[in-house]
Amino acid sequence: MSIKSDNLVFLQKFRSLCDRKYQSQIEKYLNYLIANQDLLQPKISTICEMVEI
């Protein structure tokens, strides 16, 4: 095997691991943020206003 093919195999295995390991957690975070978007928006606006000042 060449170095190039070894790197490709490694990256394919790494991507597969990340897909399985992190996909569900990312979906949970996204659902939480979408559900609480209305609550977070005033806080974000306040922070932006403070930064502008």
HSE of 23 in the Cβ direction (CA atoms, 13 Å)?
Answer: 6
Check if the beta carbon of residue 18 is closer than 8 Å to that of residue 11. Answer: no
pTM of the shown model:
0.44
Check if the beta carbon of residue 40 is closer than 8 Å to that of residue 33. Answer: yes
pLDDT in tens, 41-51: 888 899 999 99
Check if the beta carbon of residue 14 is closer than 8 Å to that of residue 7. Answer: no
Average pLDDT of the chain to the nearest whole number: 84
**Domain count within the chain:** 1
Q: Which domain holds residue 47?
A: 3-52
Of 19, 37, 16, the closest CA to residue 27 belongs to 19
Q: What is the mean pLDDT of residues 20-47?
A: 86
Max Cα separation, the chain?
59
